[in-house]
Amino acid sequence: MRLTALAASLVLAAAPLLRADEGMWTFDNVPVKAIQAKYGVALDAAWLKNLQLATLRFPNGTGAFVSRDGLVITNHHVGRDAIAQVSSAKADFVRDGFTAATREQEIKVPGLELMLLVSSEDVTARVNAAVKPGMADKDALTARRNALAELRKAEEAKTGLTCEPVTLYQGGEYWLYRYRKFKDVRLAAAPEVQVASFGGDPDNYTYPRWNLDFALFRVYEDGKPYRPEAFLPFTQTPLKAGDLTVISGHPGVTYRGQTLAQMQYAKEVGIPFQLAYLARQRRALEAYAKVSPEAARVAADAIYSISNGQKRVTGQLMGLSKPESLALVASREADLRGTVARNAGLAATAGASWDRIAEAVARQKALLKEYTCLGTRGSALFGHALTLVRILEEEAKPTAQRLPEYSEGSLKATRERLLNPRPVQMGLDEARLGWALREALEQLGADHPFVKAALGGRTPEAVAQAACAGTRLQDPAFRKQLLEGGREALAAHKDPMLALARVLDPFQRGLQRQWEDQVQSVFAEHGGRIARARFQSYGKSQYPDATFTLRLSWGPVATYDTGSGTKAQPFTTFLGLYDRHTGWGGNAAAAEDGAFTLPERWLQAKGRLALETPFNFAYGCDTVGGNSGSPVVNAKGEFVGINFDSVLEGQGGYYVYDAATKRAVAADARAILESLRKVMNAGHLADEAIGK
Amino acid sequence: MRLTALAASLVLAAAPLLRADEGMWTFDNVPVKAIQAKYGVALDAAWLKNLQLATLRFPNGTGAFVSRDGLVITNHHVGRDAIAQVSSAKADFVRDGFTAATREQEIKVPGLELMLLVSSEDVTARVNAAVKPGMADKDALTARRNALAELRKAEEAKTGLTCEPVTLYQGGEYWLYRYRKFKDVRLAAAPEVQVASFGGDPDNYTYPRWNLDFALFRVYEDGKPYRPEAFLPFTQTPLKAGDLTVISGHPGVTYRGQTLAQMQYAKEVGIPFQLAYLARQRRALEAYAKVSPEAARVAADAIYSISNGQKRVTGQLMGLSKPESLALVASREADLRGTVARNAGLAATAGASWDRIAEAVARQKALLKEYTCLGTRGSALFGHALTLVRILEEEAKPTAQRLPEYSEGSLKATRERLLNPRPVQMGLDEARLGWALREALEQLGADHPFVKAALGGRTPEAVAQAACAGTRLQDPAFRKQLLEGGREALAAHKDPMLALARVLDPFQRGLQRQWEDQVQSVFAEHGGRIARARFQSYGKSQYPDATFTLRLSWGPVATYDTGSGTKAQPFTTFLGLYDRHTGWGGNAAAAEDGAFTLPERWLQAKGRLALETPFNFAYGCDTVGGNSGSPVVNAKGEFVGINFDSVLEGQGGYYVYDAATKRAVAADARAILESLRKVMNAGHLADEAIGK
C-alpha cells in the first residue's frame, strides 16, 4: 500500500484540492509545506515532536504539559469529574474553585489516568493479510478486528506500553499507537464552574464568549512531580488577529469520508430523526424535572447534555443544508469514481462499493426507528442488567462470534463500566427507562413484538417503576457479586431489572446483529475499499477522519460571519465578561437559570483586573468534540490558549469542512495568567507556567 | 363605514387573534385594554395625548421634545444630514461631534423642518363618495386621489396648518392629518459619528449593540426656545428587563395587509430578484470604488446603503421562509374569505378581489424584470434630465391625467428635488448610469427595443460617459434656468443627458403606465376592497399597515434567540463597547474599515465613566424603518431611550409579525446622560433633560 515517492508525486497532482487550513492530520503526515507557503512558518520534525510529546489524552478530551515540573492544563469541563471526585460535602471545588497553595496541597485524583502517545507503527499490511479472497463483508470485518487484537496483545507483551489499534482512513490504514500512561494525577487549581462555563447552555457552541474553561493538574511519578520530556510554556508574545495557531489533540469522530449517499441520508433522514428524538427525550426529562427541586437538580445535567446534542446536530444540519456542501462532496466523489472506473484493479475492488453503501443506507433507513426504539437508552440500571445477562455467555464464545462490546479488545472497558461505583440517580433512571419504553410504544405501536414483550399489557411507566423499585443493581457490590457468581446463579437470579433485560435481550441482540451485518459491516468494508482506492489514487494528500487519536490542525486567529448577521470580534476581554453579566441584570436577576451570574470574588476583583486582557479568541483550526482541552500554540510552539469549543455555524464540519464558518474557541493564556494572579491566589502557578 | 358599538362588540369576537404586543396602532385606536391586561398599566387619554404632542416627525424619521425649553432628541443617523450641513471644512461636527456650551452657540439648520401632529380627521365617507358605480379600477384610484387632494387644499386654506391626506388599511380609511411645522431648528449636541454608529455595516441590524445613536436639537420660535405643549423628561427610574416600553413614531411601510398571493410572490420572486439585483449593483459599485481612493470614499455611502438593503430583505426573506409565517397568513385569509363569502354584500364588492390581486401578481411577475431594468435607477443626473423632459408637459395636463409624481399633491416635492443644490458626484453618477444601462443590456438582451434605443450599438459605459461628459445638469442654476425657460427652449436644448432622457422617456413612461394600470391600481383598488371587507367583519380590532404616519407600539425589554445560537442580553453596557473595540484590536488595527475604532476622547474617558451604565437595550416593540429616532417611554410616559434599529431576525415583520424575533434596539437614556456629562462637556443639557 505504500507508494514510492515518484508514484506519490504523480498521483498528488490529481488529488482534489483541500480547502485552506482544512484537516485533522496525523503527526506522521503534517502538510508542513502548505503551512509554510501560507504562513511563512516552517514546522520541522523537532517542533512537531515537541508538541506531540507535550500533548496528553484525558479519558474524555485532551490536555498538555505546560511546565518542566509536570503541570498539566486541560479544560475545566474535561477535568470536572475529577474535580468533583476530590470534592466533599464541606469543600465543593467545582462550585467554589480550588487552588493548592503548595505542591503538598495538590490533591490526587484516584483512578484518573493520562495517556501520552510515545510512538506509532503502521500495521496495514499485516491486518489486510488476514482477509482471505472471497470472504463475506462481515467475515472480513471480523478477520481484521481479530488481527488487530492479536497484534495489540503481542505488542503490549513485548513493550510493556499501553497499545491501541487505530483504524485510519476508514480502513485505508491500520496502526498500533503506543502510549505511556500516567496514573498519579493531582489537582493543582481550578476556577469556579460558573466562570469556567459562564453563559451555560445559552452560550454553548457560540461566540463571542467569556469562558475561563481551564483547570490545572500535575503529574507525579514515584511521589515526585514528573519531569516531562516536552512541555509548552505560556507565551510572552501577545497573540493577535491573523496569527497562525496550531492545535494538537484528540478529535473524536468526523464523517468526512462518508459517501454522498450517507451524507444525504444524514441530512434528510438521520439528523431530522435525531432532532425529533432529542426533542421528545428533552420534553420527558423536563417533565420529570418538574416533579421536585431535587428532580430538577438531578435532571439538569441530562437536559444540558441533550441541549448540547441538539445544538451540535442542528449546526451539522445547517452545514449539510448549504447547497455547496453536498455539491462539493458530489464533485469529489465523481472525481474518485471516475479514477476508479478507469483503473481495472481499483474497479474490481472498489468500483461497486458506492452502490453497496447506498444499498446499506437504504437498509439503515428501514431499520432506523426500530434500532433506536429497541435500544432502551439512558437507563444505567437497565444497561447494567443487560451487561450481566450477556457478559458471561459472551465471554464463553470465541471472540470472533461475540457481540462487539464483548470482544477481546472491548471486554475490559465493558467490565469496568459495569463495576464503576458512580451512583445511580434512581428517580431519574426510572424516568428514563419509562420514557424509553413509552418511546417504543408510541413509535412502534402496541402490536410490535418488542412492545408486547416489554409491557405485557402494562403501561411503560408501570414496567419501569416495578423494575426499578425491586432491583438491587444500583449497588456496585451486588453487581460484582453477580458477575463473580457464575452463569447459573446469574441466570437464576430473580432481580426484576435482570428479568426485564432477559426478556428484551433477544430482540435487541437480533436487531443489533442485523444492524451490524446489513449496515455497519458494509460501511466498514466498502468504506475501507473506497478509502484504499482513494489512497492509490491520491496518496496521503488527504487526512483521515477523526478517531479520538492524536491529530494536528492549524489556522489563523480570525473573525467570521455569525448567524446573527454581524462579524465576530477575534478576541473578547474581561470587559465583555462583566458587560454580559451586567446586561443580564447581574447576580440579583439570576437570568436564564443563573447562566450569567458570577462568583462574588470575581465581582470584587473587577477593580484589580486589567480589564482589557484578552479572554477568549476565535480561530480557524479544524476541530471537533474531543479537542476539548487541546493546547493552542503559536509559531514558536508556545502555549497561547486552551481550546474549549467550536461555533454552531461550523458544526457542518463534522461532514464537510468550510473555512468560512469553521471556528474553534479558546481561553486566552493571558486571561488564565491574570485570573491565577489576581483572583485565584495562584501567582506561583502563573510564574511556573511562564517558566519563571 | 363607522360601526356602532354594539356591532363592533359583535364582530370583534370573530376577529383573528393578534399576537402578543403586535401592531403599529394609530393614536385614535390604541388597544389600551389589552395592554392593561398584560402589563397592568392603564394608558389613559391624557397619557396618550402627551406622547402624541411630544413626538416630532423629521424628514426621514422621528424625534421628540424632551424638555420644557424645546430640546429635541432624535437619532444621530436621522440628524446626520443636518449636522453635516452646519459643518464646514474647518469644523467637521459629524466626525468630531458638537456641543453648544450655551444656547447662543446652538446652530440653526437651514431648511430643516419638523412636523407635529396636532389633530386628525376621518374623511373616508367623503373620499369614497367620489367613486361612481361601474368605474374602472384605475379611474376609481384616480377619483380617490383627486378627492383627497381637493380635501387637503380646502383644509389647508381653512386652518393654515399643513395638512396631509393619509390612506389607512389599504383604503379602508382615509384621513386628513393636521401638522404644526417648526422651521427654526438648531443643533445643540451630537457625539462623533463613530460612537453613534459604532460597529458600522457589520453591526447594522444586529444586537448586542453599542451605538450612541442620538443627537440633540432645539426648536425655536420668534428667536426664542419654543415651549412645547408636551415633552418627555428623561426618567429617573432604572429600566429593567421585563418592563413595559411604549414607542411613538412614524414607521415607514409594512406589507402585512397583503394577500397570500402577494406574499408568496415576495418570497419566491420579488425578494430573490431584489437580492440578486442588489448583489450585481454592489459588485458594480465595488468595482468603481477600486478606481481611486476618492472613488472609494464617494462610493462608500452607496455601498453601505446597498448592504443595508441586502440585510433588510435577507431578514424579510428569513421571516417569510419560516413555514409558520405564510401558514398564518393563509389561515387568516381563509377566515376572512369565508366571512366575505357568507355575506352577500361583502361578496359582491370583495369576493373576487383576492383573485383579481392574484392575476395582477402574475402580471407583476411578468413585468418585473423590464420594469426594474428600464428604471435607470441611481443616476442623479439622468433623474434630473427625465424630470425636466417631463415636468412642463405634465404640468400642462389636468392633474388626473398626469404621471403620479407630477400630480397636484406631488408636484411641489418633485420641483424641490430637481432644484435641490446637493452636489452630484460625477464619477459615481456616471458609473451608476453605465451600470444601469449594462443591467438593461444583460438582463433584457441586445435586441430589446429599449436597449437598442439607449445604446445605438455603443457600449453602456460609452453612452454613460458621453452623456455625463457633455452635460451641465450638475449645476442647480442651470436646471433652474431650464425649468424657467419654457417648454420650447427646453425641448430644443441639446444637453446630451437631456437628449438621452428624451430617447428613453417613451419606454419608461409606457412601462410605468402598464405597471400602474395593470398592477398597482389593482392592488390599490382590490386591497382597499379587502380592507373594507375586513373592517365590516372585524372592526378596528386590526391596525393599519405603516404609512410614515404617527403610530404607537409597545412591548417588554426582553432577550431573544439570536441566529448565532445564543440568547441576547437585554442590556449592553459601556464595558461591552470597550470590549468590542479592544477585541477587534483597537484603533491601531482599524479592523473592518475602522468600524470598531473609537475617538480618542472616548478612550481617555474610560476611567471616568461608570462602565456598568446601560448602553443599548433590546425590546419587543413592533417597529420598522421610519421609527428611527422614536422616543421609547416607560409606563409613566418618561423617556427611557431612543429607538435606532431592529434586529435581522425580526425583519420578517415587514410582512408577518413574530413576537419571538421582533426586537427593536434603543440607546439607553442613562448612556446618553453619562456621555453628555463625562465625555461631551454637556452636563447642562443632561441637567435640562432630567428637568433639573
Instruction: Assess whether pLDDT exceeds 80 at residue A13.
Output: no
Q: Do A583 and B569 touch (CB under 8 A)?
A: yes
CA–CA gap between residue B575 and residue B615 (Å, rounded): 9
| Minimal C-alpha gap between A625 and chain B (Å) | 18
Instruction: For B613, name the nearest residue in chain A, comparing CA atoms only.
Output: A582
One of 2.40.110.10, 2.40.10.120, 3.30.70.100, 1.10.1740.10 is the CATH number of B1-113+183-254+550-692, namely 2.40.10.120
Residue A589 near chain B (CB below 8 Å): yes
Question: Please, which residues bridge with residue A447 across strands?
Answer: none
Residue from the list A208, A564, A585 with its beta carbon closest to the beta carbon of B648: A564
DSSP for B540-569? GGS-PPP-SS-EEEEEEB---B-TTSSB--
pTM to 2 decimals? 0.92
Least confident of A352-356, B48-52, B170-174: B170-174
CA–CA gap between residue A272 and residue A282 (Å, rounded): 15
Cell of A47: 517542533
Residue from the list B564, B589, B611 with its beta carbon closest to the beta carbon of A562: B564
Percent of chain B with pLDDT over 70: 98
Helix (H, G, I), strand (E, B) or coil at A216: strand
DSSP designation for B515: I
pLDDT band at A17 (very low <50, low <70, confident <90, very high): low
- Nearest in space to A168 (alpha carbons), one of A527, A662, A623, A563: A527
Residue B674 near chain A (CB below 8 Å): no
| Minimal C-alpha gap between A588 and chain B (Å) | 12
Residue range A127-161, pLDDT digits in tens = 989 999 888 877 888 888 889 989 999 999 998 89
Residue from the list B203, B241, B614 with its beta carbon closest to the beta carbon of A566: B203
Pair B511, B370: CB distance under 8 Å: yes
CA–CA gap between residue A47 and residue A635 (Å, rounded): 9
Least confident of A64-68, A618-622, B145-149: B145-149
Cell of A14: 490529481
- Nearest in space to A535 (alpha carbons), one of A183, A8, A5, A6: A8
Cell of B361: 401578481
Q: Do A575 and B576 touch (CB under 8 A)?
A: yes
Pair B620, B243: CB distance under 8 Å: no
Instruction: For B210, name the nearest residue in chain A, comparing CA atoms only.
Output: A579
| Minimal C-alpha gap between B626 and chain A (Å) | 21
Residue A661 near chain B (CB below 8 Å): no
Residue B614 near chain A (CB below 8 Å): yes
CA–CA gap between residue B285 and residue B651 (Å, rounded): 25
pLDDT at B361: 98
Greater confidence (B265 vs B692) lies with B265
pLDDT band at B4 (very low <50, low <70, confident <90, very high): very low
Residue range B200-247, pLDDT digits in tens = 999 999 999 999 999 999 999 999 999 999 999 999 999 999 999 999
Where in chain A do CATH 2.40.10 domains reside? Answer: 244-251+548-689
Pair B381, B473: CB distance under 8 Å: yes
pLDDT at A405: 87
Least confident of A62-66, A156-160, B311-315: A156-160
User: Can you tell me the mean pLDDT for A30-37?
Assistant: 95
Residue range A283-314, pLDDT digits in tens = 999 999 999 999 998 898 899 999 999 999 99
Residue B57 CA, distance from chain mean position:
11
Instruction: Assess whether pLDDT exceeds 90 at residue A404.
Output: no
| Minimal C-alpha gap between A205 and chain B (Å) | 7
Q: Do A203 and B311 touch (CB under 8 A)?
A: no
Residue A645 with chain B: CB contacts under 8 Å: none
DSSP for A351-373? TTHHHHHHHHHHHHHHHHHHHHH
Residue range A317-334, pLDDT digits in tens = 999 999 999 999 999 999
Residue range B395-453, pLDDT digits in tens = 899 877 888 889 877 888 899 999 988 889 999 999 999 999 999 999 999 999 999 99
| Minimal C-alpha gap between B558 and chain A (Å) | 10
| Minimal C-alpha gap between A648 and chain B (Å) | 7
Least confident of A431-445, A458-472, A647-661, B373-387: B373-387
Instruction: Assess whether pLDDT exceeds 50 at residue A50.
Output: yes
Greater confidence (A421 vs B283) lies with B283
Where in chain B do CATH 2.40.10.120 domains reside? Answer: 1-113+183-254+550-692
pLDDT at B535: 83
Question: Please, which residues bridge with residue B107 across strands?
Answer: B187
Count the alpha carbons within 13 Å of A552 in the hemisphere toward its beta carbon: 23
Average pLDDT, chain B: 93
Q: Do A584 and B575 touch (CB under 8 A)?
A: no
Pair B368, B551: CB distance under 8 Å: no
Residue range B100-142, pLDDT digits in tens = 999 999 999 999 999 999 999 999 999 989 999 888 877 888 8
Instruction: Assess whether pLDDT exceeds 70 at residue B16.
Output: no
Greater confidence (A578 vs B375) lies with A578
Q: Do A575 and B611 touch (CB under 8 A)?
A: yes
Q: What distance, in Å, lies between the first and last C-alpha atoms of chain A?
A: 49
DSSP designation for A198: T
Residue B311 near chain A (CB below 8 Å): yes
Q: Do A575 and B562 touch (CB under 8 A)?
A: no
- Nearest in space to A613 (alpha carbons), one of A573, A672, A578: A573
Pair A495, A485: CB distance under 8 Å: no
For residue B208, cis peptide bond before it (omega within 30 degrees of 0)? yes
CA–CA gap between residue B362 and residue A7 (Å, rounded): 61
| Minimal C-alpha gap between A239 and chain B (Å) | 11
Instruction: Assess whether pLDDT exceeds 70 at residue A15.
Output: no
Instruction: For A200, name the nearest residue in chain B, comparing CA atoms only.
Output: B566
Least confident of A211-220, A536-545, B475-484, B502-511: A536-545
DSSP for A595-638? TT---HHHHHGGGTS-TTSEEEEEE-----TT-TT-EEE-TTS-
Long-range contacts made by residues A682-687, C-beta under 8 angstroms, separation at least 24? A682/A99, A682/A189, A684/A101, A685/A71, A685/A99, A685/A188, A685/A189, A685/A216
Counted across chains A and B, CB pairs separated by less than 8 A come out at: 128
Instruction: Assess whether pLDDT exceeds 70 at residue A9.
Output: no
Average pLDDT, chain A: 93
Residue A208 with chain B: CB contacts under 8 Å: 583
- Nearest in space to B122 (alpha carbons), one of B162, B176, B74: B176
pLDDT band at A3 (very low <50, low <70, confident <90, very high): very low
Instruction: Assess whether pLDDT exceeds 60 at residue A48.
Output: yes
Here the ipTM equals 0.91
pLDDT at A312: 95
CA–CA gap between residue A123 and residue A177 (Å, rounded): 10
One of 3.10.450, 2.40.10, 3.30.420, 1.10.10 is the CATH number of A244-251+548-689, namely 2.40.10
Residue B602 near chain A (CB below 8 Å): no
Instruction: Assess whether pLDDT exceeds 60 at residue B564.
Output: yes
Instruction: Assess whether pLDDT exceeds 80 at residue A400.
Output: no
Percent of chain A with pLDDT over 90: 84
